[in-house]
């Protein structure tokens, strides 16, 4: 029997909230970022993302710089606190049930998210999902540089990254008779259009309208 592919967006899809946006707020609350300068920029980038006009490289420069200011050991300890206080409350039973259903069916499961892999890898692990494609922060000599490594997994970049990932496994999207992609965001339409079973999840207005026109299913994991 052929294996199916199940792709999941993370923020506002499997999570009832946005880990990227929340990470910046968390750093402000921990006294590690200046509230006056960072809060407004964080809000603006989040609005740009929702509007579909986010400059991903400017955002990543903003988002990844704090990683370069601390040791990996400190950041990992900080992330444990972030998981407990911020992320766990965003993880819904319905989301975990959906993941479990695909895993029980033997599907190849993967989270594909624009959010950087430092923030998202422990979240994927918490959902029991082995495979993750996130935007990769650059690391040199055991420290984050504040730069980005490779193609950000954002908008059409998600298509590039999933194709690269599958090629590394000697596979391609067309090898899967059924492929799912669950997402809340119109930013993910480039990849949603390529799978056999796109599913809108608690979707934004633009994706909701598009999904209706295409007769795609629309579900809630909240």
Q: pLDDT tier at 39 (50, 70, 90 boundaries)?
A: confident
From the options 3.40.50.1000, 2.40.50.140, 3.30.420.40, 1.10.3720.10, give the CATH code of 5-219.
3.40.50.1000
Q: Is 18 one of the catalytic residues?
A: no
Tell me the pTM.
0.95
Kindly state the average pLDDT of the residues 47-62. Answer: 90
Judge contact between 6 and 107, C-beta under 8 A.
yes
Q: pLDDT tier at 125 (50, 70, 90 boundaries)?
A: very high
The per-residue pLDDT of the chain, averaged, comes to 96
Write down the pLDDT at residue 143.
Answer: 96
Write down the pLDDT at residue 1.
Answer: 66
| Strand, coil or helix: 8 | strand
Q: Is 168 one of the catalytic residues?
A: no
How do residues 190-209 score in pLDDT, each as one tens digit? 999 999 999 999 999 999 99
Q: Where are the beta strands (DSSP E) in the chain?
A: 5-8, 108-116, 131-140, 143-149, 179-183, 197-201, 218-219
Give the pairing type, strands 218-219 and 197-201: parallel
Which residue among 9, 18, 20, 136 is the active-site one?
Answer: 9
Domain boundaries in the chain? 5-219
Which residue among 11, 18, 184, 204 is the active-site one?
Answer: 11
């Amino acid at each position: 029997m052929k294996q199916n592919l199940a792709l999941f967006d993370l923020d506002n899809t499997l999570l009832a909230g946005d880990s990227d946006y929340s990470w910046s707020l968390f750093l402000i609350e921990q006294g590690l970022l200046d509230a006056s300068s960072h809060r407004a920029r964080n809000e603006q980038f989040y609005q740009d993302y929702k509007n579909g006009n986010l400059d991903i490289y400017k955002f990543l420069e903003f988002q990844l710089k704090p990683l370069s200011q601390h040791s990996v050991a400190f950041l990992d300890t900080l992330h444990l606190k972030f998981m407990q206080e911020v992320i766990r409350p965003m993880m819904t039973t319905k989301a975990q049930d959906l993941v479990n259903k695909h895993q029980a069916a033997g599907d190849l499961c993967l989270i594909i998210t624009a959010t950087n892999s430092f923030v998202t890898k422990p979240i994927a692990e918490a959902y029991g999902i082995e495979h993750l494609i996130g935007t990769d922060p650059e690391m040199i000599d055991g420290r984050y540089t504040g730069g980005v490594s490779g193609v950000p997994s954002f908008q059409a970049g998600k298509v590039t990254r999933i194709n690269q990932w599958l090629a590394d496994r000697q596979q391609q999207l067309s090898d899967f008779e059924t492929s799912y992609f669950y997402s809340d965001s119109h930013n993910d339409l480039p990849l949603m259009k390529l799978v056999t079973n796109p599913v809108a999840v608690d979707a934004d207005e633009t994706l909701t309208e598009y999904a209706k026109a295409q007769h795609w299913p629309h579900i809630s994991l909240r």
